[in-house]
Amino acid sequence: MRIGLIGLGRIGAFHAATLADLSTVDTLVVADAVPAAVEKVVAALGATAAGSLEELLAAVDGVVVAAATDAHPKLILAAVEAGVPVFCEKPVARDAAEAADVLRRVEASAVPVQIGYNRRFDAGVVAARAAVISGELGRLHTVRSTTMDPAPPPAGYLAGSGGIFRDCSVHDFDIVRFVTGREVVEVYATGCAHGDPVFAASGDVATATAVLTLDDGTLGVVSNTRYHGRGYDVRLELHGSLDTVAAGLEDRLPVRSVEPGVTFPAGRAHQSFMDRFGPAYRAELAAFTEVVAGTRPSPCTVADAVEAGWIAEACTLSLREHRPVRLEEVRTPTPA
């Protein structure tokens, strides 16, 4: 199978190596706005460089978009118009209204689109979801989802990110929906801009917490920071009336217990999304090759991603206005 890859930055270069290693991918055609990034991947993996977007789309069976967020709508729609199945990194667009516009145009075609919410492919998250579905947790009442980065991404990335809720917490919002099968109806979000002055200057925050109310009354607590010196901490905890389960509670969890005699966790702390989610990224890209082959539907649709995006919009407004926000306040109605 011939796969295209557009965007060869932090995650794109990582996806390039994963794609090149999949037995189903025999040709990898790559592009990036920066020629040096292309040369590096061509030299390292024997990929082919595309001369233009049109040339790339004409030469592949499916395309992976890992370019900067600003470029996602245009690249998704170009691929769909060319009839080429697309995998696009999260988020779909800078804000949910623009993502909803992409959704309307994608739904008007039969071309499959998969969005890169990689945690849906994490073994622990999958097991946590199964525990909810089986009923073994009893009445689920609280979901805690945590994403803590060791250090902020580069200032240039932050400037185009749309803020912490749209860029980082959106993973937690997606996973709360995924594991519970419920929709968020109300949020209250707060945050602080401790750290680099770039956060306050851009109206963003470096640390945030959002309380989510789901449509069955279950509560979600989403906790994020750009400053978690001990490592990359991604955890999901589900508390029910009969049992509690946690994904990410393993030896490499970047937390130090201060209890006397307790040595857990004892492993080298995760430092980045690459080492925490390597198998999940591989599984989601392998799933995309099945989507391209027509043997499975998209496991994470644009509609899913738009819903996570509305939660991010509600949190952004809640933070700004310091009040609870209901989802219907921010959601643009979808025309019939």
Cβ atoms of 252 and 268 closer than 8 Å? yes
The two three-digit tokens of residue 122, written as one number: 């994490």
- Least separation in angstroms between CB 175 and ligand NAD: 12
- What contacts 24+ positions apart, CB below 8 Å, involve 77-84? 77/102, 77/105, 77/106, 78/53, 79/111, 80/105, 80/106, 80/109, 80/111, 80/113, 81/109, 82/54, 82/57, 82/58, 83/111, 84/4, 84/57, 84/60, 84/111
CB of 110 to ligand NAD, least distance (A): 25
Q: Which is nearer to ligand NAD, 25 or 164 (CB)?
A: 164
Using the minimum distance from each CB to ligand NAD, give the nearer residue, 66 or 330.
Answer: 66
The answer to whether residues 41 and 30 touch, using CB atoms and an 8 Å cutoff, is yes
Least gap, CB of 67 to ligand NAD (angstroms): 4
The strand pair at 244-247 and 233-240 is best described as antiparallel
- Whole-number minimum distance, CB 244 to ligand NAD, in Å? 26
Please, what is the minimum distance in Å from the beta carbon of residue 254 to ligand NAD?
A: 17
Q: Closest residue (Cβ) to ligand NAD?
A: 9
Q: Which is nearer to ligand NAD, 60 or 137 (CB)?
A: 60
The SS3 of residue 240 is strand
Which residue ranges make up the site for ligand NAD (CB under 6 A)?
6-12, 31-34, 37, 66-69, 71, 89-90, 116, 118, 157, 167, 273
CB of 191 to ligand NAD, least distance (A): 19
- Return d(Cα 5, Cα 43) in angstroms, integer: 15
CB-wise, 33 or 133, nearer to ligand NAD? Answer: 33
Q: Which is nearer to ligand NAD, 8 or 19 (CB)?
A: 8
Q: How far apart are CA 6 and CA 25, in angstroms?
A: 16
- Please say which residue, 6 or 86, places its beta carbon nearer to ligand NAD: 6
